[in-house]
């Protein structure tokens, strides 16, 4: 099993550009989530999904869109990148929202100029 | 107020020392807690779950204090390899900001 995979590993964008961060898992987990990590801020939840077709907002959803058309994939879209979105993005999956281990992908490092 | 808050440290300890730090949570209905370890901005990895009765795994001990609404992590006989950031995970995918531990020779 590959676990949770994320692409790309690194990305540089110009302000206003759009892009999609890809996340896939092969553990048949129902729950998937996106976090961003900034220095001194820990992991902040952006969006999460409790199953195909169902998504919900986390702590910092503004500027990001998600969809969950399959159990395996949970892409994160930046519609119009801003320098404030420079961060490290982690995708995670689990078999539940509480009481279950979160498995993380290796992260995407995004720089918005 | 954030759901989960941690002392950011850093805790700088010599090899062989014991280090302990806490994570407070605000939702008294929270049932499950976890400690994760993160190295050099790599992905966090599960260190251990925190049970009501406490949990011990080798040199690591996790405790839950429901009355005061905090969880703790204690590392005994610290090794250089224990240097990392430790994150607590609480209710509804809420992570603390992390506690940095540096073990020096």
Interface test with B, best of A9, A42, A87 (most B CBs within 10 A): A42
Q: Is the pLDDT assigned to residue A3 strictly greater than 90?
A: yes
CB A11 within 8 A of CB A112: no
Nearest to A98 among B32, B36, B98 (CB): B32
**Which DSSP symbol is given to B4?**
E
Q: Supply the mean pLDDT for chain A.
A: 94
CB B16 within 8 A of CB B75: no
- C-alpha to C-alpha distance for A44 and B98, rounded to whole angstroms: 12
Q: Would you place residue A105 in the very low, low, confident or very high pLDDT band (cuts 50, 70, 90)? A: very high
Determine the pLDDT at residue B51. Answer: 76
- Find the residue in A nearest to B46 (Cα): A101
CB pair distance less than 8 Å for B95 and A88: no
Radius of gyration of chain A (CA): 13
- Find the residue in B nearest to A42 (Cα): B97
Nearest to B87 by CA among B62, B57, B53: B62
Tens of pLDDT, residue by residue over B53-86, are 889 999 999 999 999 999 999 999 999 999 999 9
Tens of pLDDT, residue by residue over A14-67, are 999 999 999 999 999 999 999 999 987 789 999 999 999 999 999 999 999 999
- C-alpha to C-alpha distance for B33 and A69, rounded to whole angstroms: 30
């Amino acid at each position: 099993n590959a676990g949770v995979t994320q692409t790309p590993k690194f990305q540089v964008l110009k302000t206003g550009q759009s892009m999609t961060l890809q996340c896939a898992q092969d553990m048949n987990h129902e729950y998937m989530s996106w976090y961003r990590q900034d220095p001194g801020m820990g992991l902040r939840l952006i969006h999460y999904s409790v199953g195909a077709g169902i998504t919900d907002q986390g702590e910092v959803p503004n500027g990001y869109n998600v969809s969950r058309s399959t159990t395996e994939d949970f892409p994160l879209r930046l519609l119009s990148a801003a320098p404030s979105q420079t961060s490290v993005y982690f995708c995670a999956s689990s078999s539940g929202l509480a009481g279950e281990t979160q498995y993380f992908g290796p992260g995407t490092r995004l720089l918005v100029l | 107020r954030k759901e989960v808050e941690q002392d950011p440290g850093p805790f700088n300890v010599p090899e062989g020392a014991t280090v302990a730090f806490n994570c407070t949570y605000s939702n008294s209905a929270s049932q499950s807690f976890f400690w994760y370890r993160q190295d050099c901005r790599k992905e966090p990895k599960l260190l251990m779950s925190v049970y009501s009765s406490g949990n011990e795994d080798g040199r690591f001990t996790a405790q839950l204090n429901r009355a005061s609404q905090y969880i703790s992590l204690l590392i005994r006989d610290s090794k250089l390899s224990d240097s990392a950031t430790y994150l607590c995970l609480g209710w509804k995918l809420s992570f603390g900001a992390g506690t940095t531990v540096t073990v020096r020779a």
